[in-house]
Amino acid sequence: MDADNKKYLICLISFMLVMGTIPIAYGATEDSLLITFDPDGDVDIDVNLSNYSFGGVLSGVWSNTTGSVFLLYNNGTVAMDTQIKSNATTDEGNMTLNETGEPYELDNFTLYTDGFDADAYITTTYGANFDDDLDVGASKGFDLCLYIGNLSANHSQQTTTIYFQGTQQ
């Protein structure tokens, strides 16, 4: 092999060695940056009055509060939607909530709202919004309507709980 070919071969081998080390020396790497944030805003719902008695209620007749007896407050920092639900039975276990508004079966009762954006029968699960987009610091007056179907006995005083849930708009 002559001197020119040796130079050429040495250059070729040197080039191959350099090229073989480039991916190691200049290979792509990955790094990361951890970002943490706390969404600002909370929903804080409050209902006033906290209890109410309809007193003596006749079967087959609607009993209603009137004049926005209850007030729903948004004490949070964001606008909220409101869902409502109630117990499936009275605390005494004598009567059952009818969610369709037709308490014709024995010992059934139904509850209906009056004063919200979308008044409806109260059910045993949170579902559709009764009220939409209640502003921060705002309140909404509402009433409740109660209907008792046929009774199997002269029941003692019955109690049920209505729950309110605010969710961010």
Give 82-101 pLDDT, tens digit per residue.
999 999 999 999 999 999 98
The pTM score is 0.76
On whether the 45-168 domain is CATH 2.60.40, my answer is yes
At residue 29, the pLDDT reads 80
**Residue 34 neighbours by CB under 8 Å, 6+ apart:** none
What per-residue confidence (pLDDT) applies to 43? Answer: 85
Average pLDDT over residues 58-85: 94
CB atoms closer than 10 angstroms to residue 32: 5
Query: Residue ranges per domain, the chain?
Result: 45-168
Per DSSP, the three-state class of 84 is strand
